[in-house]
Structure 1
Amino acid sequence: MSNSDDYSPSKVSVEDGVLRIIVATEAGGASLDLQGIEEGTAALRSIVAGTTEIGSVLLIGRGPNFCAGGNVHDFAGADDRGAFVGSVADSFHAFVRELAAVTVPVVAGVHGWAAGAGMSLVCLTDIAIGGPSTKLRPAYPSIGFTPDGGMSWTLPRIVGSGRAMDILLNDSIINGEDAVRLGILSRLVGDDIVDSEAERLARTLANGPTSAYQGIKTLLANSESATLTQQLDAESASISAAASSPAGVEGVDAFIEKRRPDFS
């Protein structure tokens, strides 16, 4: 995969161990970029298959907004709207499945609006950085649609089923501060540094103990359906394996030797 920017035909790049995926562009009216999603799906699939090694994934939009959702003009122009929207959802969901399967940290820089599919993407990330001007909105009810991108699964797990129902039925607009309070965004920074802070964090995580991050994500994912006893057993097995891993050995040795660990 080659490096990309707004003027490149590719929406996917790898740099400093970070898989960078552009999910929307200003030229596309900030709607979900299907090229970026399809390229991202292929890139994520190669990571899950072990043919590409990266340390983190970064989702960003190009322009004033992160992602304003699906292209409603395209929906309106389709001969068979149901079939067309279904095909878009299928492509988007292929991306969502691969994103959910990666074991490295997933970061998003959420500037401006994250609506519809954009909000679904935010709910899928491990860490989402926003700003005071960031706004999130389901947006589906406003056009008579139901959610896609996993929002009906992720949102109740983040905010609780009752609050998720309220947000979805009322098509609520959630500002940055409330999004942090609800746990949809991880933190706020200045509006002008949302993307740069997200990129900095993604690079930092890419240079961290990847195997430990994998273990953390696995433990948290499995905790949803585990009993406390099962989780304690899983934690014992995980920390034992971590202690014998190259990252664990380096981390402990660096601590004892009072130096910065090198997890590369």
Structure 2
Amino acid sequence: MPASVSAAIRAAMLESDPRAKVMAARKVARDWRLGRLAFVFDEPMPDQPGWPDAPELLPPGRMPRRRKAGSERGRIALWHAIGHIEFVAIDLALDMAGRFGAEMGEGFVGDFLSVAADEAMHFVLIDRHLRTLGSHYGALPAHAGLWSAAHDTRHDVAARLAVVPMVLEARGLDVTPLTLERVRAAGDERGARILQRILDDEIRHVRFGANHFADVAKRLGAVNGELWKVLVSRHFRGTLKPPFNDSARLAAGLSRDIYHGVA
């Protein structure tokens, strides 16, 4: 009998070494795609993934102020922050597939395992770029709050979809183009190519979230946009602030009607 998909996902989530987690996430996605894992959920997802000792994780209020954007230290801090987001995003996608896959079906599992593989590749590209700048992932402190959105919505797939892909990842669609322009203006063409790849992939990731959320809303007999607003107000601690990248959001399945009135 093939191994259960939940056991493979749990093992990948518990890897604490970044390189080992990257390899494990990509292997789970590949094994699922090739039919080597059974659609069986006999292992629970961990409440806390395995993470390395570095970077030091700090509350938002204790994070050091970002250096001037054009300075060498500022560039390193920017890429380190993006790298941390992508590293935690590996576990966010794995947990989505492993925690809610039994309820949501095989297509859902495949979608979010492919997201995990994408996030793993994004992390590798960013860590390599950091090394060309004379640094590496773990060299600076990082934001400790990224996982809290997953932990707070661990009992409700609709809430998880509403907050993680449709708010947090969608926010990346808003801010990445401006970051890309600044990186390119600074002469970092390699960095700009990395950000363009991330942006292209994130449109697909948000679309997965929006499509599966719509399916859940239909199953519940709820109006898609109304349910999303209720769940965001209940589970998202921050605020949604313009400007919004409406064209990228629309390509990802988020019409302006959905988030109009929330910001």
TM-score, with structure 2 as normaliser: 0.31
Q: Which has the larger radius of gyration?
A: 1
From the two aligned structures, give the one with the greater helix fraction.
2
From the two aligned structures, give the one with the greater strand fraction.
1
TM-score, with structure 1 as normaliser: 0.31
